[in-house]
Amino acid sequence: MALIRVVAAMMIMIIASSAAAGGIELRQFDDPVMQARYYDLTAAMRCPLCENQAIGDSNAPIAADMRDRVYQLLQEGRSDIEIVDHMVQRFGEYILYNPRLENRTYLLWGLPIALVLLGALVVVLMVRARRNASAKALSAEERQRVEALVNRKRSS
Amino acid sequence: MKRRLLLLLLPLCFLGLALFFYKGLSLDPSQRDSALMARPFPSFEAVTLRDENQRVDQTLLEGEVTLVNVWGEWCPACKQEMPQLLELADHDVRMIGVNYRDIREKGLAFLNEFGDPFEANIFDPQGELGFDLGVYGAPETFLVDAKGVIRYHHKGYISPDDVRERILPEVEKWR
């Protein structure tokens, strides 16, 4: 029991210190759902300055500002969509790891689906072609040759 | 015949994808446009850097083509940019500064030391206006037309070449 407590304390210290070292603030949430939404939102937005990090784990000052704003908007009771819109209005579609479906992104979303369908079509055509080929009955001449071969094998 | 057609389709698909990726991957993500392009300058309420009793809002930017420069004393590139801003002021470009995430005394000292091309400076110590402008580093410069609509965005340092090749032509275009 005591051991569990020590391990738990150590784990908390490690988590707290790594959060502090990362410069990512620990935030208080009364509501675990809101906390989950906070982490989801900050993981889904790209830092506009650092380009390869989500705002949830970037040390850039702008990422901290954006986390502040997400937190503040959550506390104000805004929906996830409203919060994402709020950020996109200022920093552009660029900050979304998951681009939205719109005129500019039809190709982006459509191409993989189109390629999968194309691949499926090719497979279906190939399977059909193969089935047709194998289903063809042997001609009398072919049958004779096969039998001759089998018999020769047996007699030897 | 059918098979040959299929075989031809494959390299064509490859070529199409290769072109698509070549185009996409050679785009520079740091050169993207501001999300506020062709949108009205965000509304704000602030005081000026020089006078903490002088309240200003977005109407400050209406009536004349204005260059809005976001700067801070803490920003080294802003110091290097100042001669270019002074040159633009010599060309009668109206300039408003946004003193971004700065301390009033430091901001004023900066202007005393490096010059002051600005008609006024919006004091933005918490970076709220900067956030609404989508600023994520200083310096950044916005060209606002006479109706208060953002028409051009220059990210980062304005070089002497940028003055002649980018900023002045854009100012002329929207005047």
Closest CB to A90 among B101, B131, B137: B131
Among A19-23, A39-43, B46-50, B164-168, the range scoring the smallest mean pLDDT is A19-23
Q: Who wins on pLDDT, A139 or A124?
A: A124
Q: Who wins on pLDDT, B90 or B137?
A: B90
User: Quick one: which H or E segment has residue B143?
Assistant: strand B140-144
Closest CB to A91 among B13, B29, B35: B35
Closest CB to A49 among B6, B132, B136: B136
The most confident of the ranges A42-51, A136-145, B49-58 is: B49-58
Mean pLDDT, rounded, for A25-54: 90
Give A89 to chain B, closest Cα distance, Å: 6
Write the DSSP symbol of residue B57. Answer: E
Handedness of CA B121, B122, B123, B125 (dihedral sign): negative
Is it the case that residue A52 has pLDDT exceeding 90?
Answer: no
Q: Length of chain B, please?
A: 175
| pLDDT of res. A20 | 47
B1-56 pLDDT, tens per residue? 677 787 888 888 899 989 988 988 888 877 788 899 999 999 999 999 999 999 99
Confidence of residue A10 (pLDDT cuts 50, 70, 90): low
Give B59 to chain A, closest Cα distance, Å: 20
Confidence of residue A12 (pLDDT cuts 50, 70, 90): low
Distance CA B172, CA A115 (A): 48
Cβ of residue B27 closer than 8 Å to a chain A Cβ: no
Give B61 to chain A, closest Cα distance, Å: 19
B47-78 pLDDT, tens per residue? 999 999 999 999 999 999 999 999 999 999 99
Distance CA B6, CA B9 (A): 5
Q: How many CA atoms lie within 13 A of B8 on its CB side?
A: 5
CA dihedral B128, B130, B133, B139 (to 10 degrees): 180
Give A141 to chain B, closest Cα distance, Å: 28
Mean pLDDT, rounded, for B72-100: 96
Rounded alpha-carbon distances, angstroms, from residue B130 to A92, B126, B147: 15, 9, 20
Query: B32: which strand partners?
Result: none
The tokens for A79 are 């929906």
B141-172 pLDDT, tens per residue? 999 999 999 999 999 999 999 999 999 999 99
Distance CA B174, CA B146 (A): 8
Strand-pair category, B94-100 with B120-124: parallel
Is it the case that residue A134 has pLDDT exceeding 90?
Answer: no
Query: B152: which strand partners?
Result: B143
ipTM summary value: 0.84
B28, closest residue in chain A (CA to CA): A51
Write the DSSP symbol of residue B88. Answer: H
Query: How many CB atoms within 10 Å of residue B1?
Result: 5
| pLDDT of res. B161 | 95
Cβ of residue B134 closer than 8 Å to a chain A Cβ: yes
Closest CB to A65 among B6, B35, B127: B127
Cβ-Cβ contacts under 8 Å, B18 against chain A = none
Task: Name the amino acid, one letter, at B18.
Answer: A
Q: Which site among A47, A67, A83, A90 would you substitute to test the B interface, given the most B Cβ atoms closer than 10 Å to its Cβ?
A: A90
Distance CA A42, CA A75 (A): 15
Cβ of residue B53 closer than 8 Å to a chain A Cβ: no
| pLDDT of res. A21 | 47
